[in-house]
Amino acid sequence: MLHEFYRDKNILITGHTGFKGSWLALWMLQMGARVHGISMEPLSTQDHFVVTDLQKSLDHRICDIRDRQLFTSHIQDIKPQLIFHLAAQPIVLDSYEDPITTYETNIMGTTNLLEAARSVDSVQGIVVITTDKCYENREWEHAYCESDALGGFDPYSSSKAAAEIVAQAYYRSFFKDANVALATARAGNVIGGGDWQQHRLIPDLMRAAQSGETMHIRNPASVRPWQHVLEPLAGYLELGKAMLENGAKYSGAWNFGPSVNSSVPVKEVMNLASQQFPRLPVTFGTAEEGRHEAQLLMLDSSKASQLLGWETVLTLEQTIGMTVEWYQGYLDQGEMRSISQQQISNYEDLRSNV
């Protein structure tokens, strides 16, 4: 049904050169959508966007979303029906080093997008991707639902909470009366092939596998809601479809988190992943060292389940297995676009059988 719905739709993805954005772009291309992307350059030649050669398959535009004039001109030229806004500064530790860029990108970049979208009559729906870290995390064993308080201890988390508030204000002030749907989407710790960002567990593990160097785990006891990148993307796609079909009814905040069984400590994820690679020398830190990071954070996705029919389909073992399979293919110099496309097709088969 998603393939049929998105075929020939005019779609804009901001941040399409990033990890999640490139997977979303590839999936939408497989569905026959007309995909446009606005983003910064990829971070490295190893990135998923680069090794799958996506640049040749979509309308690829390089732009800093903080450049309001250029960003707006691109959106006005593209005239999208639906926008998935993923462009962001996504790393907690980087936000400590450069809070100003983090706030400018995540708050004003989102504001620039929404303001530009107001000037384009073609826009029917906007999905702003934020994070589970936008919640005021009280470190409790309670899965956060969409009505819980926003907050954020660090610059990254608070910038995403602020982006949520900006989106809510724009919807109420401008988009609601214009019958344009606007939603925010919050996911957990997303893993999968082609992510080489610094300060992320799986990319750090893959670099260690390449180099043979000792890997240091900063916070092994931290509990995270781990999920494969295709899981929340499936939720975004279902949400986008519902928004275009039903308008404002599906505006608002949405959680797309993994099952409770996938919320496990960092150390357990590392052990599952390392089983499929040569044994790695690992050292473990403590929660007290370095900058503050949330130790316990889980999402309640019952709203998405009840109203969109979205459920996670992968076990934690399958999530880790698919991720390691991709990186193993990369290390073996495989054809990464074909491997990625096959993983998408296999995932679609799993969803169709649920």
Pairing of strands 263-265, 223-228: antiparallel
Strands (E), the chain: 10-14, 34-39, 59-62, 82-85, 125-129, 181-187, 189-191, 215-217, 223-228, 252-256, 263-265, 282-284
Please report, rounded to a whole number, the percentage of residues in the chain having pLDDT higher than 70: 95
User: What's the mean pLDDT in 140-154?
Assistant: 87
pLDDT digits (tens, 9 = 90+) for 259-268: 777 778 888 8
Give pLDDT tens digits for 50-60: 999 999 999 99
Quote the pLDDT of residue 280: 60
Over residues 300-313, the mean pLDDT reads 95
Q: What is the pLDDT of residue 200?
A: 81
How confident is the model at residue 201, as a pLDDT?
80
pLDDT surpasses 90 at 204: no
Give me the pLDDT at residue 215, please.
Answer: 78
Mean pLDDT of 121-137: 94
pLDDT digits (tens, 9 = 90+) for 61-71: 999 999 999 99
As a whole number of angstroms, the distance between CA 180 and CA 196 comes to 35
Domain residue ranges in the chain: 2-352
Phi-psi region of 113 (alpha: psi -120 to 50; beta: other; left: phi over 0): alpha
The pLDDT tens digits of the residues spanning 236-288 come to 999 999 999 998 889 999 999 987 777 788 888 877 877 776 656 677 776 55
**Predicted pLDDT of residue 212:** 76
What is the model's pLDDT at position 287?
A: 54
Q: Quick one: pLDDT at residue 17?
A: 98
Predicted model pTM: 0.93
CATH code of 2-352, in short, is 3.40.50.720
- What's the confidence (pLDDT) of residue 9? 98
Q: Residue 307: its pLDDT value, please? A: 96
Q: Among 13-22, 145-154, 168-177, whose mean pLDDT is lowest? A: 145-154
Task: Kindly report the average pLDDT of the chain as a whole number.
Answer: 91
Residue 60 pairs with which residues in a beta bridge? 37
